[in-house]
Every structure is written in structure tokens, then in C-alpha cells.
Structure 1
Amino acid sequence: MTRFQVLVIALCVIMNVIEGYDILVMGFAASGVRAEWGVSASAVGLLISAGLMGMAVGSTLVAPLADRIGRRPLTLVCLAVATLGMALSAATGAYGQLWACRFVTGLGVGGVMVSLPVIIAEFSSRRARGTSVAFFALGLPTGGLLGGSVAALVASHYGWRATFVSGAILSFVTAAAMLKLLPESLDFLLTRRPRGALVRVNRLLERLRLERVTELPEPAAHEVGNVRAAVLTGRNGVRSALLWLGFFALFGALYFASNWMPQLLEQSGLSARQGIGGGIMINLGGIVGSLLMTLIALRFSSRVLAVVTLAGAAVVFLAMAFVLGNLTATLVVAVVMGMLLYALGASLYALGPALYPTGVRSTALGWAVGVGRIGAIVTPLIAGVLVDAGWSGVGLFELFAIPLALAALGMVALRFVKPAPVTQPAPVSGAEQAPTSA
């Protein structure tokens, strides 16, 4: 790993922290919005969902464009969209305007959050790939803590709009840094061969301390982007379905726990403050889990780690059902829950790009994350319906352990579903040493 590779990965991690702030900030601004506009709690819930809906659309429809126009331009455009959404959110004067701005922000964040792990995977050495993506996964919980800290600092003095202004400024600074420093990936240049590709490839090879080349290899026809064959049909389709199940279980469990933990803990007899503490513990556990993954990923494959974390999360959800009402035990289990869920996210983000050829990598991961975002949207809604129907926290945690267990079995099955053969481009002189996965 050269300093240049480390720089690119560090930029992506920092950007993910800022985007985590952008998507989670609505929760910290919610009380100010309710006080100023007099909207209901359910209306605030829709504002939170607006960002998640935008992320789902961005992951599914926008992120795949990276396989056509490049990782760098799509990342920069999505960053600009997220920055614009944050700035406009601060200027809104009505509920509908804020909802639309939160959707736009989510649209940009959704595109960025799919592009980043692909960029990280393509700039990492094979051995360090899982560790690098684990650092990426650290961004969301860190962004949540950053959002809480900034909101506490500025909202009391300048109002809830200041939290969005702060996010817009952070996003703008990050976008400016990425515009100057973020290169296009070597995998994309070799596969898509845009205008000036040879010059750009040699410039990258120099920064990677590799030998220059005199010509580019001809990419295989279906490596260029036969999405149906590479993602949806035959054995590849089965592999995609198993990955989708993993992301659905991850996002469903994470957003159910993050959104409903405080209320369910309060329902079980704890105070409102203690319930909020349980939600904070999930983010703290997420930071610890992501950091641990940076070390563990050096020794174990991403698929094995996905199996272990999915199975462990299912067990922890069952454990939470038994300890609800006991403050100390609940907080301990919440930390472990956050550790496993965020470690699971790191393993799935590292596993996803490795399952597909370069030409469809962003498309495939974008679709997988889009399916996961559906889980993020529907599971909190399902929980709300079940609570209204009289379900307790015990029953809900037991229920949401089931998809985690099924997804763990899916990751086990993934080992036995071999990919359909894909003809790779001939290697470039010196490129066999390059830190790419092509």
C-alpha cells in the first residue's frame, strides 16, 4: 500500500463520515422542527424517511452510472447534490419543502455511499481490502456522533437550521478536496477506456510506483457491461440474491434498532433518558466494531466474517429480548449489537465488489444496497404497526432475529455457488502487481 493509496482511502473514509452526518442530522434537528412548525411526531418520522427514500433511489438508479461515466465524476456530482440538499434544507420555510430537500440530500448520499466502497476496493491491495472497507464502515456511526456533537453545539445558539448549514459547509469542503485529489480508478480506465485513458493509466501507475505501459489491453465484450449476465442470470443471479438478502437483513435490523431502541426501552420500564442512552450505545458499539474489523479482516475472508456477524447479530437480538428492562444488561447488549451490525456492514461492502467484474461493479453493489435500503424503510414501519397492535419489545427483537439468521445461512450457501466464468482483459505489463481486483 503506497502513500497515494492510503490517501485515496482516507479521503473516502472522511467523506463517508460527512455523508453519515448529512443523512442522520434530521434526527438531531427534529425537536427544533416540531417546536417551530408544530408538526406531529409521525410527520417528523416522514422527514427522516425522506432521506432514506432518497438513499434507496440514489443507490439503485444513480450509483450504477459510475460504471458508465466513471467513479470520480459520479462521486463529485453526488457530493454536489448532497451539499445543495443540505444548504436548501436550512433555507426552507414549510414542511413540504424540507421533505423534498431531505429526499434530494438522500439521493446524493445514496450515490456516494455506493461509489465509495467500490473506489476503496479498487485502490486497495487484495490483502488490505477488507480492512480498508472496514475503515469506510466507521463513517456512519462516527457521522452520527459528529452530528450529535455539532447539533448540541450550534442548535441551542442558532436554531435547528444551523445544523444543516454546518453539514453543507462540511460537505462543500470535502467536495473541494475530492475534486483536487480523487483520481479515477485504474480498473475503470482499463475496462472502459475513456478518451485519454492511456495517459491517465500511466499517470496512475507512476503514483502507484508501477511500470508504465505503451498500450491498453482490449477489454472483453461482456466485461464492459453485460449487466444481465453478470448480475441477474444463472449462478450470478443466485449469488446476487444471497447478497441482497444479507443487505436487507443488515439495514432492516440496523434501522429498526436505531429508530426503535429508545422507545422500546422506555416501554420496558426504563426512563426516556435511559432509552436514548441505549440508542447512543449502538453507535458507540458501531465504532468499536468497525475498528475491530480493520484488524480481523486481515486474517479472514469477507464472506466468513459476514456469516459470523450475521449469526452473532441474530443471537444478540434474541439476547436483547431477554434483558429488556435491566438497564446495565440492556446497555451492554446494545453495544455488542452495534459492534456486530456495523462489522457486518463492513464485511458486506467488502464482499460485494469482489463478486462481480469491474464493468458492472457499481451497478451490482448499487442494486444490493438499494434492496437493503428497502429493508431500512419498511422494517421501522412494520415495527410501528406491530407496536400499535400490542407487540412488546421482546416479541419484536425475536422477530427481527429471523432474517439475520436466514441471511447467515445465505452467506454459507454463497460458498457453494460458483460465479459464471467471465473473460478478463489481458494483463497490462506491471498491472499484475497493481492493487486492483480486475
Structure 2
Amino acid sequence: MATENVLESLKTRRMSPMQYVTVIVGLALVVLDGYDIAITSFASPFIAAGLHINPTRLGLVGSGALVGLFIGTVVIAPFGDKIGRRNTAIFGAVLVAAGMGISTYASTFGLLAFGRLVAGAGIGTLIASVAVIFSEFVSSKAYAVVMALYAAAIPLGTLIGSQWIGPVVAKHGWHVAFGLGTVAALACIPLTVFLLPESLAYLAISRKADALKRFNKTLRRVGIAPVPELPRAENLIPVKTPVTVVLKGSLLRSTVLSTVGYFLFMLAFYFATNWAPNYMAAVTHNPLTAPHLMTWYSVGGIIGVALFAVLAQRINLALATAVLLVASAVLLGVFGHAATVQVTPYLAIAALSFFLSAATGGFYSIVPRLYPEKARSTGYGLVIGIGRVGGIVAPTLGGYFFTDKVDPQLTFWVFAIPLVLSAVVVLALRADKRSPAGDEAAVTAPAVATTQG
């Protein structure tokens, strides 16, 4: 096989066992994201009681994790283009373990918020790095399905946290949830070190002394014959800096639209995740309602992304994602009434999560393929990182609404509005017109045009 065709062959050939292992390890890392989300949700009533903090400060704890997530995706993850995606993922796993450990021993609001920020930075680094590695090692045929499973890993982590750890928190206190999170993060570090491959594109672009040796070692693991030399850098879309690709030319519109759409989605998503269970626990005067609701939330999310995975290659991604967002808006508004009408909150939150999680799969399938190989880590990190600022705002803004006794039912409808606006933006984006098989060709032309003009 010609050297220049090696990277393209990974998109078209049948996936090897090594590639499947890469997917499994990557999904295990993303499960940590779901578990991290779950802690904030199901442990909130216990944290508020234990630290004697009001809803506004409780919202700041949730926002602290999301500030860290922003730092991880926008500041740390782009270093993957310079030091390697695998090394960046390892560093992310270490940060998660450190942040969870700090939170385990936190006895004050400030220390807990700091621990959540550090863990969030690790999570943000991980999800961006894993998505980029997936975009390279997953075949075009399996790409949409794998990215949907990537989205499913988040509610799976939430399910693990709410179903098995939630009851333990009720007996032994909220610190135990972070202690178990520390153990899980530590277990993921050796998986990342020994099983996650380095990006072939990074090795080819870096031109380091051992790059060819490592390049060929990975090729053997995926069942491709070694090559005598690395692919030429100019064939991997050279640019002065990755940001010149994502903020210039025809990709600028895609970057702006996808960032705005994801920001609006995250604003509603993290409001629902952080405050829907906590609100219902307050209404029912039962803190255990929160972990029970998160269990149903997780189940609905897993079913949603599973169905999306099955249909991903048969549907228009932009149109389907827009429909899912509108349905989520309606259900978020309805959930605010679940305690006062004959609608079980468990079914209501499961249905809400079904559509929200499926929409997450839509975003994760659309965004990475917008960018050329060399700038993919930066582009994905920029969109997801800035977009998650909406998530940073959501917990604190929700806490402010509830603290100042704004009508809770009206609050849920207010946070449903961003979902409708996000649907409009996704329809304008229509990124799904770039087929997975033509991904590289679709992004190469704009990148070259940018560097030339």
C-alpha cells in the first residue's frame, strides 16, 4: 500500500481487533464524564445539607466542574496537536483522579469547588482527545454508530453512579461518591497508557526521531504492512496554526454555528441534569428521590442514544438532531409540572433524557468531521469547549432562579427556549451533508483555500 494512502485506508477497511479495543477504552474514559455528571445531580441534596449551602452556592459547585471542563477542552486538549493525543488523554485521566481525590476530602465549599474544577478539566481533556482518536481509528462505516455509543457512555456513567453509588451516599455521606470516582479514574490511567494508541496523523506531522517506528508499530497492530517513510506533511493539510483553519474561510461559518448551537444545547442540558432531580427531591421532601430520578434519567438516555446509533446512517443528521431538540424543549417544560399533575416524574425524566441524549449523539457525530486532520483536536475542542460555557452558566443560573423563588414551572419553560433556538441553528449548519467517506476531501479543500488566501 502506498504510504500516502495509509490514513485513508483506516476509513475504508474493516476494523481490526486493535481498533475495537481502542473504542472500548475510549468509551470507558467517557463513562467517567457520565459519573462526574451524576455526582453533582444525585449528591446535591446531601452536599447542600452537609455543607449548609443554599441553591446558588450549590449551583456554583456544579458550575465549577464545568469551568474545568471548559479549561480542559479549550486550553489543555489542543496541546494534543503538539504533544500527542494519547499523552493528552493520559494527563486528563490523572487530572480526573486528582480532582476526585480533592473532593473526597473536602470539608468546605471552596475546597469542594476547587476539586470539581480540577476533575472537570480532566474530563474536558479526555472527551476531546478521545473524540479525535475515534475520528481517525474508526472506519467511515462505523463512525456514526461509534459516536452515538460515545454519547451513550455518558448516561451509562450516570446510571452506574445513581443506581449503585446513590444508595451508598445516603448511608455513608456524599464524600464516598468522590472516593469511588477517584478509584475509577485511577483504574483508567493504565488502560490509557497501555491500550490507547497514538494518533497516526500526529506521528506523521510531528516528524520526531521515533515517529516512523511508532507509526509502523501501530500499522502492524491494525493489520497494515509497514511503510518505508512517513506520509508527507503537506498531504496532511499543513497550516501555520490549527486555529487558522477553524476561524477562516468556509469553515468559519461552521465553527460559529456549531458553537452557538452547542452553547444553547448545553445551557438547557446542564440545567436539566443538575436541577431536575434536585427540584423534585425538594418538592417531595425526600433526598433519595434524586438518585432514583437519575437512574431513570440514565436509562432514558441509554435507550435514546442506542436508537440514534441504529438509525444514524439512515437519517439526515441535522434534521434528526433538530427534531430531537424541539422534543426535548417540550418535555423539559412539561417536567416542571410533573409534581402537580398526574404525570410520574420518573417517566417524564426518562423521556426527557431519551431526547436530550440522542441529540447529544447528533452533535458528537456532526462536529468532529467539520475539520481537517491537523486541526481536528483544536476545532472540536473549540466548539465543545466554548459551547460548554452554556453548561457553566446553567447550574448557577438555575440556582439563582430557585433561590429567589421564581416560579419553578416557569423556570423549566425558560430553559426550554434555548433548545428550540439550538434546533434552528443546527438546521442552518446542515453539517451532515459531508458524508463520512468523504470527510477528508470535504475539509481539505476549504483548508487549502484558507492557507492560500
TM-score range, shorter chain: 0.7 to 0.9
Kept in 1, the 8 Å contact 2:260–2:425? The answer is yes
Kept in 2, the 8 Å contact 1:82–1:106? The answer is yes
Q: Tell me the equivalent position of 1:422.
A: 447
Q: Tell me the equivalent position of 1:392.
A: 407
C-alpha distance 255-408 of structure 1, shift in aligned 2 (>3 A): same
Distance of 1:165 and 1:273 partners within structure 2: 20
Kept in 2, the 8 Å contact 1:81–1:104? The answer is yes
**TM-score, normalising length: structure 2:** 0.83
Distance of 2:404 and 2:82 partners within structure 1: 47
- Give 1:388 deviation, angstroms: 5.5
Q: Out of 46, 70, 74, which is 1:56 matched to?
A: 70
Matched, 1:367 2:382: yes
Deviations 1:89-126 (A, max 9, x none): 22334332222222111111111121112212221111
C-alpha distance 225-64 of structure 1, shift in aligned 2 (>3 A): farther
Q: Tell me the equivalent position of 1:430.
A: none
SS at match of 1:128: helix
- Give 1:402 deviation, angstroms: 2.7
Kept in 2, the 8 Å contact 1:321–1:397? The answer is yes
Distance of 1:396 and 1:377 partners within structure 2: 17
How many residues are treated as equivalent by the alignment?
A: 423
Q: Out of 322, 326, 350, which is 1:335 matched to?
A: 350
Deviations 1:24-44 (A, max 9, x none): 324444455455544444433
Kept in 1, the 8 Å contact 2:264–2:419? The answer is yes
Matched, 1:309 2:324: yes
Q: Tell me the equivalent position of 1:357.
A: 372
Q: Tell me the equivalent position of 2:254.
A: 239
Structure 2: runs of 5+ lacking an equivalent: 1-14, 434-441
Distance of 2:281 and 2:166 partners within structure 1: 23
Distance of 1:335 and 1:253 partners within structure 2: 16
Q: Tell me the equivalent position of 1:432.
A: none
C-alpha distance 362-256 of structure 1, shift in aligned 2 (>3 A): same
Q: Out of 215, 227, 230, which is 1:213 matched to?
A: 227
Q: Tell me the equivalent position of 1:300.
A: 315
Distance of 1:274 and 1:373 partners within structure 2: 28
Matched, 1:124 2:138: yes
Distance of 2:312 and 2:328 partners within structure 1: 18
Kept in 2, the 8 Å contact 1:265–1:325? The answer is no
Kept in 2, the 8 Å contact 1:86–1:167? The answer is yes
C-alpha distance 382-39 of structure 1, shift in aligned 2 (>3 A): closer
Distance of 1:173 and 1:91 partners within structure 2: 19
C-alpha distance 332-410 of structure 1, shift in aligned 2 (>3 A): same
- Give 1:188 deviation, angstroms: 2.4
Distance of 2:174 and 2:27 partners within structure 1: 26
Distance of 1:159 and 1:243 partners within structure 2: 40
Q: Tell me the equivalent position of 1:325.
A: 340
- Give 1:223 deviation, angstroms: 2.9
Q: How does 1:394-409 map to 2 (within 5 A)?
A: 394-409=409-424
C-alpha distance 36-310 of structure 1, shift in aligned 2 (>3 A): closer
- Give 1:393 deviation, angstroms: 4.0
Q: How does 1:178-327 map to 2 (within 5 A)?
A: 178-220=192-234, 223-224=238-239, 226-262=241-277, 265=280, 276=290, 278-300=293-315, 302-317=317-332, 319-320=334-335, 325-327=340-342
- Give 1:300 deviation, angstroms: 3.1
- Give 1:175 deviation, angstroms: 0.8
C-alpha distance 135-225 of structure 1, shift in aligned 2 (>3 A): farther
Kept in 2, the 8 Å contact 1:55–1:110? The answer is yes
Q: Given residue 355 of structure 1, which amino acid in structure 2 is its aligned partner?
A: L
Q: Tell me the equivalent position of 2:3.
A: none
Kept in 2, the 8 Å contact 1:21–1:147? The answer is yes
Kept in 2, the 8 Å contact 1:121–1:129? The answer is yes
Distance of 2:397 and 2:17 partners within structure 1: 47
Q: Tell me the equivalent position of 1:69.
A: 83
Deviations 1:269-296 (A, max 9, x none): 7665796455543322111112222212
**TM-score, normalising length: structure 1:** 0.86
- Give 1:246 deviation, angstroms: 2.1
C-alpha distance 289-94 of structure 1, shift in aligned 2 (>3 A): same
Distance of 1:413 and 1:40 partners within structure 2: 40
Kept in 2, the 8 Å contact 1:23–1:105? The answer is no
Kept in 1, the 8 Å contact 2:77–2:128? The answer is yes
C-alpha distance 322-38 of structure 1, shift in aligned 2 (>3 A): closer
- Give 1:301 deviation, angstroms: 5.2
Q: Tell me the equivalent position of 1:86.
A: 100
C-alpha distance 36-407 of structure 1, shift in aligned 2 (>3 A): closer
Deviations 1:343-385 (A, max 9, x none): 1111211211100011111111111112222111223333444
Q: How does 1:14-163 map to 2 (within 5 A)?
A: 14-152=28-166, 154-155=168-169, 158-163=172-177
Segment of structure 1 superposing worse, 161-170 or 301-310: 301-310
Distance of 2:317 and 2:337 partners within structure 1: 30
Q: Given residue 145 of structure 2, which amino acid in structure 1 is its aligned partner?
A: T
Q: Tell me the equivalent position of 1:427.
A: none
Segment of structure 1 superposing worse, 3-12 or 162-171: 162-171
C-alpha distance 279-26 of structure 1, shift in aligned 2 (>3 A): closer
Identity of aligned residues (%): 30
C-alpha distance 265-167 of structure 1, shift in aligned 2 (>3 A): closer
Distance of 1:252 and 1:258 partners within structure 2: 10
